[in-house]
Copies of this chain bind each other. A is one copy, B any other.
Amino acid sequence: MPSESLEYPTKPYSKVNRYDVRATYALKTIHELVNTCPILHVSFTMPDSPYPMMLPMIGQMGSFARPSADMGDVLELYLHGYVSSRLINLSRGSGSSSGEGQGEGKGEEEAGLPVTVGASHLDGLVLALTPNSHSYNYRSAVLFGRAELVTDEAERLWAMELVTNGVVRDRYRHTRVPPNRAEMQSTSILRVRVAAGSAKIRSGTPSDERADKEDEALLARVWTGVVPVHYTMGTPIPGPYNRVETLPSYLEEFVRDGNEDARAVAAEAAAKVMKGKPKEED
């Protein structure tokens, strides 16, 4: 079975209900959206607050057991960066299945803190004839899973390299590695075992109601189309203690390739003919 075909199970909490966007549960699509999203939003319930906590974090999908796994395989999410002490304490303390009682069904009362992770990409502003038909071209993924603190030293090192290179291609080996004892102690990495996930993708040109598209006076007045939107990396700016006069080629190529890819993704999204069922509302 080709791994591209693997899909996350559709749980009540992960099912996409809107049908004017293309929903997918394919691991490959979801994992790629997560891995190319520079900021993930991680949410989890706090025992003493009616409001979920939300943290912007950095993360990458991967498999420590099988590092050569590809994007369509079963992977874990490794979270790094701004790991709050609250999140770490909760991940550490939620190893038992007792008292959860939220009725998610048997077989899921496992170790780890339940977290929800959002990864959203903006690809364009879709300008239609009416405010209601305005939209974004976008790709967004949500993962649901259990987060646990990674304690194994080899796995921690592997994850630090994974995450560093996930942000800047090939950066890790070009820095002072391995991390020293103090750095290892001050670094927390969470591993999220994924229970479910989904993605929503909207691309293409505007889509207005027929009555508006037949209104000649309106068509003569309102510009419709797509403004592509993408991230751009500017010229790298050397820091105050930089001594490397020429920007290394791996960085130059990373910036150039990243910008070309980003521009192409937004342009392709703008030009695409919308697939999926016809939309009813926006």
Residues of A within 8 A of B (CB): 11-13, 17-18, 38-39, 41, 43-54, 56, 58, 81-82, 84-86, 100, 102-104, 108, 114-118, 120, 122, 125, 127-132, 134, 136, 138, 140, 142, 144, 160-161, 164, 167-168, 171-172, 174-177, 179, 183, 186-187, 195, 205-206, 208, 212-213, 215, 218-244, 247-248, 251, 255, 263, 266-267, 270-271, 280-281
**CA separation between A116 and B202, bound complex, in Å?**
24
A237 touches B228 (CB 8 A): yes
B54 touches A43 (CB 8 A): yes
Q: Which residues of chain B come closer than 8 Å to A46, judged between CB atoms? A: 13
B229 touches A234 (CB 8 A): yes
Residue picked from A56, A171, A230, A243, most chain B C-beta under 10 Å: A56
B231 touches A183 (CB 8 A): no
Q: A140 to chain B: closest CB distance in Å? A: 5
Residue picked from A45, A58, A177, A241, most chain B C-beta under 10 Å: A241
Copies in the complex: 2
Q: Which residues of chain B come closer than 8 Å to A237, judged between CB atoms? A: 225-228, 267, 270-271
**CA separation between A227 and B85, bound complex, in Å?**
29
B56 touches A175 (CB 8 A): no
Q: Which residues of chain B come closer than 8 Å to A266, judged between CB atoms? A: 234
Q: A17 to chain B: closest CB distance in Å? A: 6
Cβ 8 A contact of A131, one of B38, B172, B213, B238: B172
Q: Which residues of chain B come closer than 8 Å to A232, judged between CB atoms? A: 229-232
A179 touches B115 (CB 8 A): no
B52 touches A84 (CB 8 A): no
Complex A-B: 20 CB contacts under 8 Å: A11-B49, A12-B48, A43-B43, A45-B45, A45-B52, A49-B104, A50-B114, A51-B144, A54-B142, A127-B239, A132-B187, A134-B168, A187-B281, A213-B241, A219-B242, A223-B247, A225-B239, A226-B236, A228-B237, A231-B231
